[in-house]
């Protein structure tokens, strides 16, 4: 039997009465140290996968844990809503490393509730946000005994390291994973009190470069001036990446960039953006970026090049007069729709290599990546999501793009041919990937309610 609005209302009451239980569940999840990047946490990553599997199973879904070459993928489905759409829910149970630990006010894996937020690594990215959908599905099945739509949960453990094995999983299980739309809560609201639907994400490509000079560090007095210094050269290479106006100098970098339409620029310009408050929260006295674009355009719709780390030479106390043997850097690029990662890497490699003087060996390694994308903000799916959010948050969401990347979203499009509803319950000031990560309890509550309502709204599409 199709579910009704009255069914939803019973679910809403249940959610209201059980908010404390959901908070306890999130705390248990956050105590698991599921850092995907660092092999010493492998047993903890496994424990997180098992936690998710148990939650989905006890909610009433059929579950399987799929082993991969890396961390496991948890799958859970409930497919008894005959004739109703099938919704793929994606999330990730892995988290970023908690370093630097000493900057945390309370330990990263001992969740602490203060000023209306729960503080822990993974609170907003993505354990808390992901659980909202588990909670809402569990509540529907508990109270009503069925869901308004069919659901397929894919919860992975390698998002923070590039989702390499997930792509293979999606390709190998296309039939099982067939869905009409995907839902992902792994982004942010626009601002406190301003919920958002994200209709675009930037992509990413990244690399590591290494410059090798003399076979070992040399005395800079005996040999300085007569051989190339890898750290000097590296600094020159990095300085060549941008011009004085913040434009990236790699040949062809902007060639395929999808430009912003005047209409979209106006829409972004109309958002209630408090730029001063954002920079204040970030601890910077002013913004900086590509000239000719606003801060939101720079963050969401323009490609970037950033050095993520740099090393070489002596870093200890006091002076040490050497010519270092080696220098290196990690560089990442945020990409916008139509840019091609392979083309950019090839151009970058040649651009840098050509600048190296004789005596420097240049090596280049390309990392994971994914393309940028934009969805149609006017689709029926978007309207359903908007109605669900309006019910839960009391105001309609604004439509935004985001600068971060969620690799699977482009894979969903390529492999399954489906769009994704990016419904973020977090805030940009939640310190994701940073010390003192947090998630507001109100966002957790409203997100769970919006998710419960979303199933109801999507059933009629």
DSSP string, 390-431: HHHHSSPPEEEEESS--HHHHHIIIII---EEEEE-B-TTS-
* Site membership for ligand BES, residue 404 (CB under 6 A): yes
Shortest reach from residue 144's CB to ligand BES, in Å: 31
List the single partner that 187 binds among ligand BES, Mn ion, none, CB under 5 to 8 Å by kind.
ligand BES
Of positions 72, 128, 407, 443, contacts ligand BES by CB under 6 A: 407
Q: For residue 367, give the nearest of 323, 429, 441, 308 by alpha carbon.
A: 308
Smaller CB separation from ligand BES, 26 or 406: 406
* Site membership for Mn ion, residue 126 (CB under 5 A): yes
Both tokens of residue 381?
């799916």
How many Å apart are CA 334 and CA 374, to the nearest integer? 14
Shortest reach from residue 408's CB to ligand BES, in Å: 10
Q: Which stretch binds ligand BES (CB under 6 A): 141-149, 180-188, 239-247, 270-278?
A: 180-188
Shortest reach from residue 209's CB to ligand BES, in Å: 19
List the interface residues with ligand BES, window 147-176 (CB under 6 A): 159-160, 162
* Site membership for Mn ion, residue 430 (CB under 5 A): no
DSSP E strands, 187-325: 196-201, 203-212, 218-219, 304-312, 322-323
Shortest reach from residue 408's CB to Mn ion, in Å: 10
How many Å apart are CA 450 and CA 8, to the nearest integer? 11
Q: For residue 271, give the nearest of 242, 301, 244, 250 by alpha carbon.
A: 301
Q: Alpha-carbon torsion 174, 177, 459, 455, what sign? A: negative
Size of the site for ligand BES (CB under 6 A): 15
Of positions 125, 326, 402, 419, contacts Mn ion by CB under 5 A: 125
List the single partner that 404 binds among Mn ion, ligand BES, none, CB under 5 to 8 Å by kind.
ligand BES
* Site membership for ligand BES, residue 70 (CB under 6 A): no
How many Å apart are CA 85 and CA 136, to the nearest integer? 17
Smaller CB separation from ligand BES, 187 or 294: 187
Q: For residue 117, give the nearest of 132, 103, 128 by alpha carbon.
A: 128
Site mask, ligand BES, residues 307-346, x = CB under 6 A? ----------------------------------------
* Site membership for ligand BES, residue 183 (CB under 6 A): no
Shortest reach from residue 309's CB to ligand BES, in Å: 14
Q: Which stretch binds Mn ion (CB under 5 A): 179-187, 230-238, 243-251, 306-314?
A: 179-187
How many Å apart are CA 367 and CA 243, to the nearest integer? 25
How many Å apart are CA 397 and CA 179, to the nearest integer? 25
Chain CA centroid to CA 32, Å: 20
Shortest reach from residue 77's CB to Mn ion, in Å: 22
Q: What are phi and psi of 404, to 5 degrees?
A: -80, 180
Shortest reach from residue 100's CB to ligand BES, in Å: 18
DSSP string, 297-351: HHHHTS-EEEEEEEEES--SSS---EE-SEEEEEEEEEE-TT--HHHHHHHHHHH
Shortest reach from residue 430's CB to ligand BES, in Å: 9
Binding-site ranges for ligand BES (CB under 6 A): 125-126, 159-160, 162, 186-188, 204, 368, 402, 404-407
Binding-site ranges for Mn ion (CB under 5 A): 125-126, 186
């Amino acid at each position: 039997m199709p579910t009704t609005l009255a069914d939803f209302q019973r679910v809403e009451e249940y959610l209201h009465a059980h908010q404390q239980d959901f908070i306890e569940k999130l705390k248990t999840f956050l105590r698991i140290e599921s850092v995907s990047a660092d092999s010493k946490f492998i047993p903890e990553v496994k424990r997180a996968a098992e936690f998710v599997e148990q939650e989905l199973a006890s909610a009433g879904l059929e579950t399987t844990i799929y082993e991969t070459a890396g961390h496991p993928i948890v799958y859970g489905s409930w497919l008894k809503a005959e004739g109703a759409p099938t919704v793929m829910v994606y999330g990730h149970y892995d988290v970023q490393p908690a370093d630097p630990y000493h900057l945390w006010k309370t330990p990263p894996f001992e969740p602490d509730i203060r000023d209306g937020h729960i503080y822990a690594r993974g609170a907003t990215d993505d354990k808390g946000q992901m659980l909202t959908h588990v909670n809402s599905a569990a509540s529907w099945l508990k109270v009503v005994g069925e869901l308004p739509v069919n659901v397929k949960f894919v919860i992975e453990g390698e998002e923070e390291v590039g989702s390499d094995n997930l792509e293979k999983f999606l390709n190998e299980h296309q039939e099982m994973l067939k869905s009409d739309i995907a839902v992902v809560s792994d982004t942010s609201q626009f601002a406190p009190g301003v919920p958002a639907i994200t209709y675009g994400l930037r992509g990413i490509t990244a690399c590591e470069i290494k410059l090798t000079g003399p076979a070992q560090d040399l005395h800079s007095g005996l040999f300085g001036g007569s051989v190339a210094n890898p750290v000097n050269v590296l600094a020159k290479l990095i300085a060549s990446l941008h011009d004085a106006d913040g434009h990236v100098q790699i040949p062809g970098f902007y060639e395929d960039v999808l430009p912003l339409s005047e209409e979209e620029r106006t829409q972004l310009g109309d958002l209630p953006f408090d730029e001063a408050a954002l920079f204040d929260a970030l601890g910077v006295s002013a913004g900086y970026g590509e000239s000719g674009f606003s801060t939101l355009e720079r963050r969401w719709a323009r490609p970037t090049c950033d050095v993520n780390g740099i090393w070489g030479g002596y870093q200890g106390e006091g002076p040490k007069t050497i010519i270092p043997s080696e220098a290196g850097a990690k560089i990442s690029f945020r990409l916008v729709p139509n840019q091609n990662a392979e083309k950019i890497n090839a151009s970058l490699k040649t651009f840098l290599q050509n600048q190296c003087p004789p005596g420097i060996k240049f090596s280049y390694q390309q990392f994971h990546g994914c393309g940028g994308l934009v969805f149609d903000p006017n689709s029926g799916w978007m309207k359903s999501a908007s109605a669900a959010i309006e019910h839960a948050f009391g105001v309609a969401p604004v439509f935004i793009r985001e600068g971060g990347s969620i690799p699977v979203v482009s894979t969903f499009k390529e492999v399954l041919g489906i769009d994704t509803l990016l419904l973020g319950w977090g805030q940009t000031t939640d310190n994701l990937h940073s010390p003192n990560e947090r998630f507001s309890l109100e966002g957790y509550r409203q997100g769970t309610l919006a998710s419960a309502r979303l199933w109801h709204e999507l059933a009629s599409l």
